[in-house]
Structure 1
Amino acid sequence: MPSTLAALLFLESLSKPVIWAKPSFMIPEGKLAIIWCQGTHGAAEYQLHFEGGLSAFKRPKSPGMSNRVKFPIPSMTSQTAGQYRCFYRSGELWSEPSDPLDLVVTGLYDTPTLSVQPRPEVISGEKVTFRCRLETATSTFFLLKEGRSSRPERRYGNIQAEFPMGPVSTAHRGTYRCFGSYNTHAWSFPSEPVKLLVNGDAGDTTFAPTEHTSSDHWDSYMLTTETQFQEDPVLWDHNAQNLLRIGLVLLVLVALVWLPVEDWLHRKKPQERASRASSQECRRFRAQSPG
């Protein structure tokens, strides 16, 4: 029975929610940010936690009709930048926390300069180094590649930092920008874009990003840089989960019913054999008795 209880408790666990930010995890100072949390269609309440503490909660207007809620931040500041997680409740059960969302505010410091050595156009197999420099002393620098959903690279330095790369291939082709920062969640303005051109093995574009060729495309990059699966997260359909749980519960119940029945049948067979043997003995005794 304890193992059965553990199995039933496991069946009642909730899937992990998914958290993401729009228009991006990087928000310019003073701009609107919206944090989305997605659970299941049966969720009755959502909670948003900021830096380990409860920040806000929300109940869906029509439970069962939607599996996500949004938490707006009207004006992004250094006080609202940081790490967020979300939870949701279905019935009496709470989900585990989502993966962390690191929300960054940009535009707090001067604009850094970005360059690439030995030159911005190289041959496949060469090595290059991006150099990000900010005269206003900072401690951390970040390098981002436009059109990629991965997190930025980080390096440390007082006035500048170097980002070695290579041997490069066409997968490294693209437009790069950098930021300076005093901490993980408060960044400078973005640098002007630097485009890296890689010649050779042109047929190998497996990991080549979507390229933006001018600073005019920075806004569109800000709209798409967040991990793309989070825009429409792929979660199990809640009905399918329920059907699976019901099926497993029925299997457990059938097993619980069948075990006593099987034991009863197992005990009944010797009794039936003994009863038949006794009946046969009685009939033989009567047949042998004098009439």
Structure 2
Amino acid sequence: MLSILAALLCMELCLSQRINTGKQTLPKPIIWAKPSSRVTKGTPVNIWCQGPQSASAYQLYFEGSFLSKAKFFIPQMTSNTAGRYYCFYQSGELLSEHSELLVLVVTGMYDTPNLSVHPGPDVTLGENVTFSCLLEGGTSKFFLLKEGEPNHVQQGHGNKKAEFPMGPMTRAHRGTYRCFGSYNHHAWSFPSEPVTLLIPGDEGNTGLVSTDPTSSLVYWEDNLPTKESGLQKGSALWDHTTQNLIRIGLACIVLTALICLLAEDWLSRKRDKEGNNRSASWECRRRLSLQCSLEEEQKDAISMGGLKAIPGPGAI
């Protein structure tokens, strides 16, 4: 029993060491797309995943499937290749955390929308304006982007048209805007013509105006609901739950072994005590029987002596 207990304790120590080793985390890899995360239909794009030099293998995750590549080349961007990507790498026996989410959007899937601003592009500080994006293709989902600010994206809904109120105006609002129409998050229309908000005194600041609708390499993926992020959290929670269950299971096994050991010791003591009691009882009975036999023999001897002392008939 002691050898079994020692083996269980050794197994617990080994598994605990393995669990602690599994807790070591590797830094997240970096994922990006070239030339951009918004790509015109038919344009090639590369997805890169970069980790440390110790990385031995990479995996790219795309909408439910894994691709074992550090660089993934898309020869022609289509609606089938648009979607959500992330990657991770392996170093030794450890897997890294998932990279940040990369959302690839294909543009040029529908007609070009028309973007306008009311009351006009020349605004004053404190004024309110409204952008209006119109697309005759029948879509009901629209996006308004400010060039040069990757995370500055607004989403609107409407029947062929969406309005984006904005204000009161500050100098942070100045810049160039475009809009897109879409039927989903990953397939957009052609970009609208740019509309530039100007505030008095900014006319000479040409650095604020950009004419490249794909100048932003990343955009608003942090604002999208992502089931992948849920999977990452669920995976981490599952790992912690598994580790806790292993520990609880090992503790139960060791506790059971200790209880069995104590029970066996108690039973052994009980058997020894019962054996001693039986031996004492047998010895007592043996002595009592021997004493009784001696008493019987003495009585018989006395009886025989009394008979010899009595004279027989005719004795004088």
Q: TM-score range by the shorter chain?
A: 0.5 to 0.7
Q: Which has the higher helix share?
A: 2
Instruction: Name the stretch that deviates more: 119-128 or 142-151.
Output: 142-151
Structure 2 gap segments, 5+ residues each: 1-12, 220-316
Tell whether the 8 Å contact from 1:171 to 1:209 is kept in structure 2 after alignment.
Answer: no
SS for the counterpart of 2:172 is helix
Structure 2: how far apart are the matches of 1:4 and 1:209? Answer: 61
Q: Could you state the TM-score of these two structures normalised by the residue count of structure 2?
A: 0.60
CA radius of gyration, larger in = 2
Cα RMSD of the aligned pairs, angstroms, is: 2.3
- Identical pairs, percent: 55
Partners of 2:207 and 2:77 in 1: how far apart? 28
* Paired letter, 1:73: I
User: Contact 2:22–2:94 (CA<8 Å) still a contact in 1?
Assistant: no
**How far apart, CA to CA, are the structure 2 residues paired with 1:223 and 1:184?**
19
For normalisation by structure 1, the TM-score amounts to 0.65
Work out the number of aligned pairs and report it. Answer: 204
Matches within 5 A, 1:1-291: 8-10=21-23, 12-54=24-66, 56-58=67-69, 69-199=70-200, 211-212=208-209, 217-218=211-212, 222-226=214-218
Secondary structure class of the residue paired with 2:183: strand
CA distance in 1, matches of 2:153, 2:206: 14
Are residues 46 and 4 of structure 1, via their aligned partners in 2, closer, same or farther at CA, if it must alter by over 3 Å? closer
- Gaps spanning 5+ residues in structure 1: where? 59-68, 203-207, 228-291
Q: Which has the higher strand share?
A: 1
Q: Match for 2:68: what amino acid?
A: F
- SS in structure 2 at match of 1:171: helix
How many Å separate the matches in 2 of 1:182 and 1:195? 26
The alpha-carbon deviation at position 95 of structure 1 amounts to 1.3
Which consecutive aligned stretches of 4+ in structure 1 deviate over 6 angstroms post-superposition?
1-5
* Cα distance in 1 between the residues matched to 2:32 and 2:124: 38
CA gap of 1:116–1:22, structure 2 versus 1, over 3 A, is: same
Q: CA deviation at 1:224?
A: 4.3
CA distance 1:79–1:170, change in 2 (3 Å): same
Amino acid at match of 1:222: T
Q: CA deviation at 1:209?
A: 11
Task: Report the CA distance between 1:100 and its aligned residue.
Answer: 1.5
Cα distance in 2 for residues equivalent to 1:126 and 1:210: 23
